[in-house]
Amino acid sequence: MNSGELIAWHYALEEPVRLRWLDGRIIRMDSAPHFPPRTLWVAPPLVDLQVNGYAGVDFQSDDVSFDDLAAAVAGLHAAGCGRFFLTLISDEWPRMIARLRRLRELRRKSGLLIQAIAGWHIEGPFLSAEPGFRGAHPPEVMRDPTADHLKELRLAAGDERLMITVAPERLEAVAIIGQARELGIIVSLGHTNAPRKRLLQAQKAGATAFTHLGNGCPRELDRAENILWRVFETPGLKVSLIPDAIHVSPPLFRLIHRTLPDGSIFYVTDAMAAAGAAPGRYRLGRLELEVGPDEIVRLPGSGNFAGSALRPIDGVFRAAEMLRCSWREVWSRFSHVPAEVAGVSCSLALGSRADFCVLEVTEENVLDDLSLYIGGERIAAAV
Ligand SMILES: [Zn+2]
């Protein structure tokens, strides 16, 4: 097993530290014996709870191979992401369950995939079918959730981590949220136009998150009363945002950060196959999408977005740019906070696995170099 040491600035303490690992675990972190270069930093790996595809691979396809999955994981690693929730979007329920079973089989074949795919995010089909709120999800497959759906889902996922995105206005959805919690399923609200009272009921029943606020809703909203304002007034939810400066405009991004309490925002890429790949045409389940050099994922012939082409590491730097702050101030929103939502470990603590990012960043917030270590082993490097 591998061992080593690194001297770098700690991203949160802003102090130079010496990190030592043995057999893939962190055994010591103490003051550095000398000052490392001012540009060299260590931080926990990024955790992305919404990834629909990556590096040319569409997770919604029925013929994803082991090599495809490994390529997507390698792409995410190269972008600083150590762990993610593989996300399946709305389709006919039996097909979604079959995909989940198949992907689990593939994941089981490799320790690296087991480590990287920390869980499963099932985004649909229990969503709002209203135009705008349904986003790119096909309305014809939308349905109300039942206890049987949950049991089937839990059975298909075994004891692995599961998260569902649900619109709480769906019939019986509030009762189902309570049952989901009993089955250890994390519940996020999203693609919803539920009234405030229903959002509060859903939160009380056990919903802990809200999926990509500012998206999964119409481009034009009633200024006096809309889903954004209602979420702002629903305490206790961790809210995810897509920090690509496209899905949420920079002013709205800043306002959401000012409005919601500290520690209640986390970032997701909502990436589809085009992320970490060249511009072109890509599939996202039933849809064929066009991705230009601007990295905007469009449904050809419409202005609607459908997933993003964002790399996790770019999300950090774009968020920092929008908020006009250092990358270090936003890092935890793409590591500790989503890890907490998902119940995933993500720290530089003693005894934990030696997973971390090493970054070279200029004083002007420009990323020059990035490496990801998993179990103390340098497995990817890219900017
Ligand atoms: Zn969505």
Residue 286 pLDDT > 70: yes
Tens-digit pLDDT profile for residues 253-272: 999 999 999 999 999 999 99
Mean pLDDT for 94-108 is: 98
Helix, strand, coil percentages (3-state) for the chain, rounded to 5, are: 30, 30, 45
Mean pLDDT for 203-215 is: 97
Q: Rounded to the nearest whole angstrom, what is the distance from the C-alpha of residue 216 to the centroid of ligand 1?
A: 6
How far CA 268 is from CA of 5, 29, 43, 84, 211, in Å, comes to: 31, 29, 18, 9, 9
What letter does residue 84 receive in the DSSP assignment?
A: E
Q: Rounded to the nearest whole angstrom, what is the distance from the C-alpha of residue 380 to the centroid of ligand 1?
A: 29
State residue 137's pLDDT score: 92
Q: Rounded to the nearest whole angstrom, what is the distance from the C-alpha of residue 28 to the centroid of ligand 1?
A: 41
What confidence tier does 28 reach under pLDDT thresholds 50, 70, 90?
A: very high
For residues 198 and 233, what is the distance between their CA atoms, to the nearest angstrom?
Answer: 12
Tens-digit pLDDT profile for residues 105-126: 999 999 999 999 999 999 999 9
Q: Is the dihedral of CA 67, 71, 77, 82 positive or negative?
A: negative
Q: Are the C-beta atoms of 186 and 161 separated by less than 8 Å?
A: yes
Q: Are the C-beta atoms of 21 and 3 separated by less than 8 Å?
A: yes
Residue 342, burial from CB neighbour count under 10 angstroms (0-12, 13-18, 19+): buried
Q: Are the C-beta atoms of 199 and 175 separated by less than 8 Å?
A: no
The whole-model pTM stands at 0.96
Q: Rounded to the nearest whole angstrom, what is the distance from the C-alpha of residue 185 to the centroid of ligand 1?
A: 18
Q: Rounded to the nearest whole angstrom, what is the distance from the C-alpha of residue 215 to the centroid of ligand 1?
A: 7
Tens-digit pLDDT profile for residues 60-70: 999 999 999 99
Q: Rounded to the nearest whole angstrom, what is the distance from the C-alpha of residue 161 to the centroid of ligand 1?
A: 19
Q: Rounded to the nearest whole angstrom, what is the distance from the C-alpha of residue 195 to the centroid of ligand 1?
A: 19
For residues 324 and 330, what is the distance between their CA atoms, to the nearest angstrom?
Answer: 10
Q: Rounded to the nearest whole angstrom, what is the distance from the C-alpha of residue 108 to the centroid of ligand 1?
A: 27
Q: Rounded to the nearest whole angstrom, what is the distance from the C-alpha of residue 104 to the centroid of ligand 1?
A: 22
Domains, the chain, in order of start with CATH, read 4-42+350-381 (2.30.40.10), 45-342 (3.20.20.140)
- Calculate the dihedral angle through the C-alpha atoms of 38, 339, 270, 199, rounding to the nearest 10 degrees: -130
HSE value, Cβ hemisphere, 13 Å, CA-based, for 244 = 22
Q: Are strands 367-374 and 356-361 parallel, antiparallel or unpaired?
A: antiparallel
Angle 10-15-20 from CA coordinates, rounded to 5°: 55
Q: Rounded to the nearest whole angstrom, what is the distance from the C-alpha of residue 135 to the centroid of ligand 1?
A: 7
In the chain, alpha helices (H): 66-78, 93-107, 111-116, 147-157, 173-182, 196-205, 227-232, 250-259, 312-323, 327-330, 336-342
Mean pLDDT for 163-179 is: 97
Q: Rounded to the nearest whole angstrom, what is the distance from the C-alpha of residue 382 to the centroid of ligand 1?
A: 28
Q: Rounded to the nearest whole angstrom, what is the distance from the C-alpha of residue 259 to the centroid of ligand 1?
A: 22
For residues 33 and 26, what is the distance between their CA atoms, to the nearest angstrom?
Answer: 18
Give the H or E element holding residue 240: strand 238-241
Q: Rounded to the nearest whole angstrom, what is the distance from the C-alpha of residue 123 to the centroid of ligand 1?
A: 7
Q: Rounded to the nearest whole angstrom, what is the distance from the C-alpha of residue 191 to the centroid of ligand 1?
A: 6
What confidence tier does 308 reach under pLDDT thresholds 50, 70, 90?
A: confident
State the Rg of the chain over Cα. 20
State residue 292's pLDDT score: 84
How far CA 362 is from CA of 39, 73, 322, in Å, comes to: 6, 27, 18
Crossing angle for the helix pair 250-259 and 312-323, to the nearest 10 degrees? 80
State residue 287's pLDDT score: 84
What residues contact residue 278 under an 8 Å CB cut-off, 6+ apart? none
Q: Is the dihedral of CA 255, 360, 376, 67 positive or negative?
A: positive
Q: Rounded to the nearest whole angstrom, what is the distance from the C-alpha of residue 292 to the centroid of ligand 1?
A: 20
Tens-digit pLDDT profile for residues 213-237: 999 999 899 999 999 999 999 999 9
Tens-digit pLDDT profile for residues 44-89: 999 999 999 999 999 999 999 999 999 999 999 999 999 999 999 9
Q: Rounded to the nearest whole angstrom, what is the distance from the C-alpha of residue 351 to the centroid of ligand 1?
A: 36
Per the prediction, the chain carries an average pLDDT of 94
Q: Rounded to the nearest whole angstrom, what is the distance from the C-alpha of residue 142 to the centroid of ligand 1?
A: 13
What is the rounded end-to-end Cα distance, in angstroms, of the chain? 27
Q: Rounded to the nearest whole angstrom, what is the distance from the C-alpha of residue 127 to the centroid of ligand 1?
A: 9
